[in-house]
Structure 1
Amino acid sequence: MASVIKAVGSQTALAKILKCTPQNVQRMCATGRVPPKHVLRIESASGVSRGLIRPDLYPEAALTLDGSLPAGEVSGQPYKPSVNLSSAGGV
């Protein structure tokens, strides 16, 4: 929450953005718990990722093999299918 407050300027400014009381924002800062209804508005106003605000609701996407290597390559080697598609029965 500290990075959110820094981005928007103050707890009072965040309270105005969320249309709630400054006490409510202070409670979020003290506990580190942000109600789900506020997460997307906070992300929009502060630029802080929803995954950082509520990782239990918005877990960061895990890096997958498909996302980490260029298409068709595994371990830097060109991709070679184990089945010859031309002999696979008319595929």
Structure 2
Amino acid sequence: MINVNEYFDGAVKSLAYTTADGKSTIGVIESGEYEFGTSTHETMVVIEGELIALLPGEQDWKTFTNGQSFEVPTNASFKVKTSGQSSYLCKYK
């Protein structure tokens, strides 16, 4: 079953699915800055565009582009911002 998720008044949309490797979402983020919380470990892979992330415990924003990834631990919050539409794959552990 594919589930549709929508956040921040439609500025972030994703499709959730499950494979033999586990649960994942693939989504698109509009220009802006957003804060997310995690309930499980997440690995975010930028598919297209650029995500600038402020990760838990960090003071500086880091830029991630096509094919690059970052990880966020369970029960943490992180911020991302982008200046244009960007797409991502999020894998949950």
Task: Please say whether Structure 1 and Structure 2 have the same fold, judged by a TM-score greater than 0.5.
Answer: no
Q: Return the index of the structure with the highest Cα Rg.
A: 1
* Structure having greater relative contact order (Cα 8 Å, sep ≥ 6): 2
Q: TM-score, normalised by structure 1?
A: 0.24
